[in-house]
Amino acid sequence: MSISAVAREAGVSTSTVSRFLKGELRLSAETEARIREAMTATGFSLPRRRVQHLALVIPELSNPYFAQLTQAVTDAAHHRDLEVSVLVSDGLEARERRIVAKCARGGGLGIDAVVFVSMTGSGALLAEVPDDFPFVTLDERLDGELTEHRSFVGADNFEGAYQATTFLLSRGHRRIAHVAGPGHLGSARDRLRGYLRAVRDAGLEVDPQLVLEGTYSEPFGAHALSRILRLEDRPTAVFAASDVVAVGMAAAAPMHGIRIPQDLSLVGFDGIEQGSWVTPRLSTVVQPLEEIARHALDLVDAANDGAEPTAHVLPMELRIAESVAAPPSAP
């Protein structure tokens, strides 16, 4: 069937249907529904073209982790001759939904696919995405049933956290604090689970006072350090769920007369470049950003070809540097 047959069935002009299908025209929900119903009734379907213009939706660029993730995705995309538009949601659910809806339903942006990184974990925005629109979730899993129909790629947060905590235990630490991320994020919960499992596998009791939850930010890292130091039985090591938080702790340590690692060992998470700039260099769990980016684009192509959604969880690597030593009381 032709576009003109769809137009007759929907009661609109042929040019309206043509411009809508090209993403050049925004229509009312009622008119769009009529056109889609007409496409179904007439058996019309557009041939799938190769993805040419990708939208990368990111929470923020001020956090070095997201900046490096953005660079990894854009580098991988440019090697495939893909254009990339980077759209910043500010980590706000309402803005996430507006951006995704505009990308997926045309909005004059000419976007063929979306790679989405969330800071809210809300899968409700997927209701705005047509079933045949390539949409891949990156880094942070979304909640809700709609996520079952979308591909995901990210790192093994549980195993990475388990590695970090086990390493501190192997150096003789028994009171290890965990400065966790926001509890509404699946990645933060997985990192907390990895920490808890490692502590329990070592035959130790978990002290709730040693778990602090907050944002992935340097100010929270500085605040967390002051809280930890007020404890009567201080920890000798900290596993921070984000390098940004760990950097905040390292920067605040001299103000409290704390030396890292002589007084307090510190391990971060993510593997951002800034962790190598602080003194001493930060031990961290490294996310394989380049590999994650390549997998994300492979999944975009697969979704564009109508493949079934899949989830890829990639291993992480512990990078040991100078921020960890034996506990102060150890010989």
Give the C-alpha separation, 199 to 207, whole Å: 10
For domain 53-155+288-314, give the CATH number: 3.40.50.2300
Classify burial at 232, counting beta carbons within 10 Å of its beta carbon; exposed 0-12, middle 13-18, buried 19 or more: exposed
Task: Give 4's pLDDT tier (boundaries 50, 70, 90).
Answer: confident
One-letter amino acid at 217 equals S
Segment 296-305, tens digit of pLDDT = 999 999 998 8
Q: Which residue has the tokens 């496409």?
A: 39
Q: Mapping DSSP to helix (H, G, I), strand (E, B) and coil, where does residue 66 land?
A: helix
Whole-angstrom CA distances from 87 to 94, 205, 264 are 14, 44, 39
Q: Is the pLDDT confidence value at 253 over 70?
A: yes
Give per-residue pLDDT as tens, 25-83: 778 888 888 888 888 888 877 655 688 899 999 999 999 999 999 999 999 999 888 99
Mean pLDDT of the chain: 92
Q: Which of 299, 323, 46 is nearest to 150 (CA)?
A: 299
Q: Does domain 157-287 have CATH number 3.40.50.2300?
A: yes
Answer whether 53-155+288-314 and 157-287 agree in fold.
yes
Q: What is the mean pLDDT of residues 119-126?
A: 91
What lies within 8 Å, CB to CB, of 143 at 6+ separation is 121, 122, 123, 186
> What residue segments make up the domains of the chain, in order of their start?
3-42, 53-155+288-314, 157-287
Interatomic CA distance for residues 108 and 128, integer angstroms: 16
Tokens of 136: 């891949």
153-180 CB burial, b ≥16 within 10 A, e <16: bbbbbbbbbbbbbbbbbebebebbbbbb
Beta-carbon count within 10 A of 54 CB: 25
Band of pLDDT at residue 251, cut at 50, 70 and 90: very high
